[in-house]
Amino acid sequence: MTQQEYQKTVEKLNKYAYHYYVLDDAIATDEEYDTLYHKVLEYEKQNPQDILKNSPTQRVGDVVSEGFIKAKHHQRMWSLEDIFNEDDLEKWLTKIKKLQENITFYCEPKFDGASLNLVYENGELVRAITRGDGSEGELITQNVKTIKSVPLTIKHTGLLEIRGEVVIYKDEFEKINQERLKNNEPLFANPRNAAAGSLRQLDPKITASRNLVFLPYGVGENSLEFEYLSDLMEFIYNLGFKRPPLRATAKTKEEIQKIYEQMKAERESYAMMLDGMVIKVNELQAQKIMGYTVKVPRFAVAYKFPAVEKVTKIKDIILQVGRTGAITPVAVVEPTDIEGVVVERATLHNFDEIERKDIRINDSVIILRSGDVIPKIVKVLTDRRSGVEQKYVKPTSCPVCSGELLDEGALLKCQNLSCEARVVNSIIYFASKPCLNIDGLGTKIVEVLFRENLVRNVLDLYSLTLEDLLKLEGFKEKKSQNLLDAIQNSKGSDLWRFINALGIEHIGEVASKVIEQEFGLDFLEVTKEQLLAIDGFGPEMVESFVEFMRVNEQTIKELLAIIQPQKPQKQETQKESFFSGKTVVLTGTMSRPRSEIKALLESLGAKVAGSVSKKTDFLIFGEDAGSKYTKAQSLGVVCITEKEMEEKL
């Protein structure tokens, strides 16, 4: 074989594979493919210097890695807000039409798998990164190269991030589980878990054996210039990616609903699992203007499909006391398999719900499980009652400490601050993954520590000694030392973890990260006004945070002294910035004085002008932007929010 023949053969193999894996339309037999593949392999063995980047032989990684390293996404990977019915849809549409007029929509499936970011540089797949926390994930390039529907090269220059979902087809999932059953291996609960698990294999050969499929749904960093998302996606598909089974544009609520109904009706016949339909604003310029909240884009939403329902029986109603003292009734039901997950509990939310639905012990009920949320009871089948059903009586004292309960109607709250359940749950929360992430400090151990009087609050964790632990049943030297080390290791943790660990109502992981960014270690003295100025912070969150700081100031100071959380690293002012040499105009109300922003931009080499003209590169707008904004729009000047400006910095 000559070099030219070799190149031709690689091209042919890629064409066969593209037809087979991307278009689902084979144009060659397996045997033909294999014969050519071996010829290519043979040539490459003799002429390793000629190996092409897109040769199919380059998909099989031989190197088993020892672990995955972290890698940053060029642009953040977002999640989506969920809606569930026509009312929600109506509300969402009304809300976003206030932000932008004259918009249309692009609808496509919400694939149920694991999200993935593919980074192409000058046409070559250079990195594949899992979603991770949205800004950084794990580098799994070797594994992803084994996915046949991921092109190793594309006809495109520059940097392009392609985002999509890795899925396992339903029939393939069944096969894998059959195989695992035979080999006495634990089964995958659903195709999503199977896809995620297969991606994170240290041995790429295992990933290769799982027949994963990549379905693109968008782009991250890019230099593409499209007006409509629908055209952008068409461009992506034409680079060699797989198309979804259904996609369509819509103008009205009715049209969106119609596409939704069609997708819902057809989804059983699709090869992959869907858990809803994603609706996105089709005009990319409008998307840019609408921007993001702290968590999700404003220009897109996931319209979920109703989840699967099953009939089961209520065996008992038990009570859980959370870290805030709130008591949640939980139904214990006869174990029921719903799409691969055995359901044994269903949340009853609160006591009103029990009364409203007249839920009795021994009732037959319909339970629903959707996505990963805790199953709930949709309906009581009252006509199946036989007389053995028992009405449920609301408790009058805490099921854990027998303390007094505050009756807030729907909600019952244990008032006892030192109630075991409250203390134990707040310590468990404190130590959990998105908080101080103390390895090994789970429910069982915290319960023991509490009962043995070793730990009565989170501060006590830090004065535990080896002696203390060795006295406990089942605690040998190694286990005890590991736990102490884990507790010590939480010192110097990220500040946002510390804030999150305090368990302040309405302040979760995302808000904690924002507070860390904005205020650093000064978070204790933050005022309501300062917090309200942050995009995404509402009055409830602000009230809760400030009040918590006031009441718990002393404890927080003690904790700070012991844990010494890390200040966020101040980003060094970049010399070459996104705004260097650009002409920028500011308008509208911003979260800080405009003069401050002006000074900042100027220090980065931008020219801040007073009025909008054709020469303006960017209009940065705050709330209530007026005529400058309209003018910029009419001149086609790129308009970005203050938040987006911050991100560019």
- Taking the complex as a whole, how short is the minimal distance between the CB of residue 116 and ligand IVH, in angstroms? 8
Minimal CB distance to ligand IVH: which residue?
A: 115
- Taking the complex as a whole, how short is the minimal distance between the CB of residue 293 and ligand IVH, in angstroms? 12
Of residues 218 and 622, the one with the C-beta less far from ligand IVH = 218
- Taking the complex as a whole, how short is the minimal distance between the CB of residue 271 and ligand IVH, in angstroms? 15
The span of 75-83, 393-401, 477-485, 538-546 binding ligand IVH (CB under 6 A) equals: 75-83
Q: Are 383 and 353 in contact (CB under 8 A)?
A: no
| 482 vs 640: CA distance, rounded Å | 49
The distance of Cα 274 from the centroid of its chain, to the nearest Å, equals 16
Under DSSP, the state recorded for 19 is: I
110 among known catalytic residues: yes
Q: Where are the alpha helices (DSSP H) in 3-65?
A: 3-17, 30-46
Phi and psi at residue 97, to the nearest 5°: -70, -20
User: In what side-by-side order are the strands of the sheet with 618-621?
Assistant: 607-609, 583-587, 618-621, 638-641
| 47 vs 191: CA distance, rounded Å | 41
Of residues 131 and 267, the one with the C-beta less far from ligand IVH = 131
- Taking the complex as a whole, how short is the minimal distance between the CB of residue 155 and ligand IVH, in angstroms? 24
The span of 20-28, 110-118, 262-270, 306-314 binding ligand IVH (CB under 6 A) equals: 110-118
- Taking the complex as a whole, how short is the minimal distance between the CB of residue 113 and ligand IVH, in angstroms? 7
Tokens of 461: 């964790």
- Write each residue from 175 to 204 as x if it is in contact with ligand IVH (CB under 6 A), else as -, in one continuous string: ------------------------------
Q: Residue 71: helix, strand or coil by DSSP? A: strand
| 368 vs 380: CA distance, rounded Å | 12
Of residues 96 and 515, the one with the C-beta less far from ligand IVH = 96
Tokens of 533: 């100025």
Site residue total, ligand IVH (CB under 6 A): 15
Residue list 117-156, contact with ligand IVH (CB under 6 A): 131
Residue whose pair of structure tokens reads 């030219």 in the numeric block = 4
| 402 vs 408: CA distance, rounded Å | 18
- Write each residue from 268 to 307 as x if it is in contact with ligand IVH (CB under 6 A), else as -, in one continuous string: ----------x------------------x--x-x-----
| 490 vs 179: CA distance, rounded Å | 42
**φ/ψ bin of 268: left (φ > 0), alpha (ψ from -120 to 50), beta (otherwise):** alpha
- Write each residue from 605 to 644 as x if it is in contact with ligand IVH (CB under 6 A), else as -, in one continuous string: ----------------------------------------
Q: Does 78 bind ligand IVH (CB under 6 A)?
A: yes
Q: Which of 56, 218, 375, 622 binds ligand IVH (CB under 6 A)?
A: 218
| Sign of torsion over alpha carbons 501, 504, 510, 515 | negative
- Taking the complex as a whole, how short is the minimal distance between the CB of residue 135 and ligand IVH, in angstroms? 13
Of residues 239 and 546, the one with the C-beta less far from ligand IVH = 239
Q: Does 80 bind ligand IVH (CB under 6 A)?
A: yes
- Taking the complex as a whole, how short is the minimal distance between the CB of residue 217 and ligand IVH, in angstroms? 4
The span of 107-115, 205-213, 257-265, 393-401 binding ligand IVH (CB under 6 A) equals: 107-115
Cα-based distances in Å from 314 to 217, 317, 337: 41, 8, 15
| 440 vs 487: CA distance, rounded Å | 9
Q: Are 221 and 76 in contact (CB under 8 A)?
A: no
Q: Which of 110, 145, 192, 304 binds ligand IVH (CB under 6 A)?
A: 110
- Taking the complex as a whole, how short is the minimal distance between the CB of residue 74 and ligand IVH, in angstroms? 14
Under DSSP, the state recorded for 18 is: I
**Cβ within 8 Å of residue 250, ≥6 positions away:** 104, 105, 107, 256, 258, 259
The span of 106-114, 149-157, 535-543, 584-592 binding ligand IVH (CB under 6 A) equals: 106-114
- Taking the complex as a whole, how short is the minimal distance between the CB of residue 457 and ligand IVH, in angstroms? 37
| 588 vs 643: CA distance, rounded Å | 13
User: Identity (one letter) of the amino acid at 33?
Assistant: Y
Residue whose pair of structure tokens reads 């045997």 in the numeric block = 31
- Taking the complex as a whole, how short is the minimal distance between the CB of residue 213 and ligand IVH, in angstroms? 13
Of residues 218 and 325, the one with the C-beta less far from ligand IVH = 218
Q: Which of 372, 377, 335 is nearest to 356 (CA)?
A: 377
- Taking the complex as a whole, how short is the minimal distance between the CB of residue 374 and ligand IVH, in angstroms? 18
| 548 vs 539: CA distance, rounded Å | 14
∠ Cα 124 127 131 (to 5°): 135
- Write each residue from 155 to 174 as x if it is in contact with ligand IVH (CB under 6 A), else as -, in one continuous string: ----------x---------
| 21 vs 1: CA distance, rounded Å | 27
Of residues 229 and 331, the one with the C-beta less far from ligand IVH = 229
Q: Where are the alpha helices (DSSP H) in 502-593?
A: 509-519, 528-532, 539-551, 553-563
| 86 vs 150: CA distance, rounded Å | 36
User: Distance from first CA to last CA of the chain, Å, rounded?
Assistant: 53
| 617 vs 613: CA distance, rounded Å | 9
Q: Are 201 and 207 in contact (CB under 8 A)?
A: yes
The single residue of 110, 280, 413, 513 carrying the catalytic annotation is: 110
- Taking the complex as a whole, how short is the minimal distance between the CB of residue 114 and ligand IVH, in angstroms? 7
Q: Does 111 bind ligand IVH (CB under 6 A)?
A: yes
User: Identity (one letter) of the amino acid at 498?
Assistant: F
**Cβ within 8 Å of residue 554, ≥6 positions away:** none
Query: What residues make contact with ligand IVH under the rule CB under 6 A?
Result: 78-80, 108, 110-111, 115, 131, 165, 217-218, 278, 297, 300, 302
Q: Which residues are catalytic?
A: 110
